[in-house]
Amino acid sequence: MMGHLSLSHFLVVGGLLFCFGLMTVLTRRNAVAMLMGIELILNGANVNLVAFNHYVAGGLSGQIFALFVIVLAAAEAAVGLAIILAIYQMIRSIDTAKIASMRR
């Protein structure tokens, strides 16, 4: 069973990807880095979707979901980068700690 890839391996990899992404989002104050962390989280989820599709459900639906997530991530990155760019043009920084002008 040692040289054999099982579902658990994929889940561990997916979980690690999720945890790294989460750590990135939680700790980094650079907005672009946070976007990258979000990508990691989404891809951790993708690994899970594909793994469950292969080992549990069969068929193609999990992989189609993963493809949708990738498309969504691309769209999200485009929108996110556009917002960040706009913020940067306004306050000359992408440090999220400084983007607090709406706080009273």
Binding site for another protein (CB under 8 A): 22, 25-27, 29, 34, 96-97, 99-104
> Residue 99 CB, nearest distance to another protein (Å)?
8
44: tokens are 């951790």
> Residue 95 CB, nearest distance to another protein (Å)?
10
Give the integer Cα–Cα distance in Å for 33 and 75. Answer: 17
**Closer residue to another protein, CB minimum distance, 63 or 80:** 80
Q: What are the CA-CA distances from residue 78 to residues 9, 90, 100 (Å)?
A: 32, 19, 23
Pick from 21, 65, 25, 26: which is nearest to 41 by CA? 21
> Residue 26 CB, nearest distance to another protein (Å)?
6
**Closer residue to another protein, CB minimum distance, 89 or 101:** 101
Q: Tokens 């891809």 sit at which residue?
A: 43
**Closer residue to another protein, CB minimum distance, 4 or 104:** 104
Which residues fall within 8 angstroms of residue 88, CB to CB, at 6 or more apart?
94
**Closer residue to another protein, CB minimum distance, 25 or 70:** 25
> Residue 56 CB, nearest distance to another protein (Å)?
21
